Amino acid sequence: MASYPSSDKNIKFDGPSEQIEKIDTVSEEHQNQLAELSGIEATAASKAAWLIAITVSLGGLLFGYDTGYISSVLVTIGTSLGHVLSSSEQELVTSLTSGGALVGAVGAGLTADRFGRRMPIWSACVVFVIGTILQTAAYSVAQFAVGRFVVGLGVGSAAMVVPLYISELAPAKYRGRMIAFNNMSVTFGQLLASAIGAGFAQVGNPETSEAWRATVGIGAIPAMLLAGLLFLCPESPRQLVAHGKVDEASVVLTRIYPTSTEAQRRAKIRSIEISIQEATQTMVDDSLWKSMCRIFTTPATFRAVLTACAIMAISQLGGFNTLMYYSATLFKIVGFSNATAVAITVSATNFVFSWVNLILVDRFGRRRILLVTVFGMGSCLVVAAVAFSYIPVNLATLEVESDKIGWPGIVLIITIICYVAFFSSGVATVAWIGTELIPMEVRAVGTMLNTVTCWSTNIIIASTFLSMMKGLTPSGAFGFYCGICFTGWVFIVFCYPEAKGMPLENIREVFAHGFGVKYARQWQKENKQFAKVNTQQSFAH
């Protein structure tokens, strides 16, 4: 196998203990050289790059469909599993998927560097189909619960690897938008599941209908489609270089940048080798324990991973998934007769406003979007908590003690729609873009931790919402989520730096200065024109 030599003979790594330090202290001259070697970014990217991103984003659709259909299933499943599900059983079957996703994310993190990005995604599809079959054929709570857990294994694996794969394969000009597109696929999956669930909810007698099985079973279709299409998608060129498959990496680069020259592709490969090869090779050879230790013993790396994970935690603990998992149940509590149909408004709002983030994320930056939207989420939850205080709810049964919805119910649904709009246009996507903050040598493990944060906090929300509604009252539950949002907003103010337009090498320097909010702001001022150009042509290493 041919190998392209490094163009800088002075750059060397003396050993595993020194290589990270040398990368962290990369010289300005080295950065300039990387800029020159990344000239391929100025060439036109092919449609294939977008087609590949769209294809693997079906993994996001799996994530969204799973979180979307359970809402309608919980209110239409009736006695199909032998008896009417209690609130604790509803929490169990809902949260088990998050538990499976947690395990799946860890498994994907262990294999993503050793076996590439495609294999874990393909395995996730197979597992998802198996879990869907188990649920569709379930006639007991135990079998349905096992199916939910197995589906979670696939969802967690795909949710961890797909954004990582896209970020490494995408042309720098479209990196943020392509990752945002994956999140948009999640919201489309939620909308699709809500619509299908609402449709099948009208089939047959609501008490005895088995139509919910069709809602669940349809989820296997995108998984099988993705599994087949993956054979047409290439491996990440960065993974190919890391594993010494330079010729294959050149072929992939040709596919992504069809107008590039051989010299540009060679230069791109050299730039990848210079910036990540040694670090990636260590990452491939290292055990999970060593990679984890590197994160917790390198202050700058720890702050980068902590920041990414904190934003992910805010996105989950802020309460959004209570609406995805329990929206139909929630609107039934409030008093809407066709709760599954009303719940579609939540999924539709989520999908529409994910487009807003897709348009704005590379233009206005991550920090500014987070500051506005997280504050908006907290404000909406305040209004929701107040509205609930005027709705008479029996805390033992969680049923509304009135035949009229009244103004509090109307205010609540409007407020929830506004909350979802803020969430979807902000933290929902930025939480996944946070992988750009994580240094390359621990990016797979760091992304795994980010995904583990997602699903562990998701478990907390899914397994406690109905209990919190009973124990703290609905106003207390939404007030709790409000507190999380405002705490997260304070964290963003003091600890989340703006990385818009920054080469990833410069992002490393940000966290070498604490959380680097002031450093990043100063960098943006001093490199205003560069950042503007680099938003379109940054170095996607």
CA-based nearest residue to 310, from 374, 251, 365, 264: 374
What is the C-alpha to C-alpha distance for residues 413 and 384, in angstroms, rounded to an integer? Answer: 9
Please report the sign of the dihedral spanned by the C-alpha atoms of residue 98, residue 100, residue 106, residue 107.
negative
178-198 burial by CB neighbour count: b if 16+ within 10 A, else e? bbbbbbbbbbbbbbbbbbbbb
- 73 vs 132: CA distance, rounded Å: 13
Asked whether the beta carbons of 353 and 360 are under 8 A apart, the reply is no
The residues, any chain, with a CB within 8 Å of residue 321's CB and separated by 6 or more, are 67, 458, 461, 462
Kindly state the DSSP code that residue 93 receives in the 8-state scheme. H
**Pairwise CA distance, residues 157 & 164, whole Å:** 11
pLDDT at site 41: 63
Which residues, other chains included, contact 430 with Cβ-Cβ below 8 Å and sequence gap of 6+?
Answer: 311, 357, 361, 366, 369, 370
Supply the Cα-derived Rg of the chain in whole angstroms: 24
Check the CA dihedral 269-270-274-278 and report its sign.
positive
| SS3 of residue 509 by DSSP | helix
pLDDT one digit per residue (tens) for the chain, 541 residues:
444 333 333 333 344 334 434 434 444 544 554 445 556 666 666 688 888 888 998 888 988 898 788 888 888 888 899 888 888 898 899 889 888 988 988 888 777 777 778 888 999 999 999 999 999 999 999 999 999 999 999 988 888 888 888 877 877 677 777 877 787 888 899 889 888 988 887 776 656 678 899 999 999 999 999 999 998 888 888 778 877 788 888 888 888 887 777 887 787 777 777 766 555 455 555 566 777 888 888 898 999 999 999 999 999 999 887 877 777 777 777 666 666 777 788 888 888 888 887 788 777 888 999 999 999 999 999 999 998 888 888 888 777 777 676 788 888 888 989 999 999 999 988 888 887 888 877 777 887 788 889 888 988 888 888 888 888 888 999 999 999 999 999 999 999 998 877 766 677 788 888 998 898 888 878 776 555 545 544 333 3
pLDDT value at residue 34: 47
The CA–CA distances, whole Å, from 464 to 1, 74, 79, 94, 391 equal: 55, 16, 23, 10, 21
Can you give 311-346 as a three-state secondary structure string? HHHHHHHCCHHHHHHHHHHHHHHHCCCCHHHHHHHH
Segment 299-304 long-range contacts (CB within 8 Å, at least 24 positions apart): 300/24, 300/439, 300/508, 300/511, 300/512, 301/20, 301/438, 301/439, 301/442, 301/446, 301/511, 303/511, 303/514, 303/515, 303/516, 304/437, 304/438, 304/439, 304/446, 304/507, 304/508, 304/511
Measured distance CA(347)–CA(61) in Å, rounded: 13
Q: Which tokens sit at 380? A: 């909406």
Distance between CA atoms of 245 and 258, rounded to whole angstroms?
20
**Spatial distance between the Cα atoms of 162 and 433, rounded to a whole number of angstroms:** 12
Nearest residue to 63 (alpha-carbon basis) of 433, 455, 532 = 455
pLDDT at 386: 93
List of residues 6+ apart from 360 with CB closer than 8 A: 369, 425
The structure tokens listed for 192 are 């699709």
pLDDT of residue 206: 59
- Sequence-distant (6+) residues with CB within 8 A of 221 are none
Where in the chain are the domains? 50-233+286-496
C-alpha to C-alpha distance for 200 and 177, rounded to whole angstroms? 34
Question: Which CATH architecture fits 50-233+286-496?
Answer: Up-down Bundle (1.20)
Structural contact between residues 319 and 325, judged by C-beta atoms closer than 8 angstroms: no
Phi and psi, residue 393, nearest 5°: -115, 130
| Residue 315 CB neighbour total at 10 angstroms | 27
Reported for 470-474, long-range contacts at CB under 8 A and 24+ positions apart, including other chains, are 470/87, 470/395, 470/396, 470/398, 473/388, 473/393, 473/395, 474/333, 474/385, 474/388, 474/391, 474/393
pLDDT of residue 528: 66
Angle at which helices 443-471 and 87-111 pack, to 10 degrees? 170
Which pLDDT belongs to residue 23? 39
Q: Closest by alpha carbon to 447, among 304, 275, 296?
A: 304
Task: Report pLDDT for 128.
Answer: 94
Task: Please name the residues in contact with 86: beta carbons below 8 A apart, sequence gap of 6 or more.
Answer: none
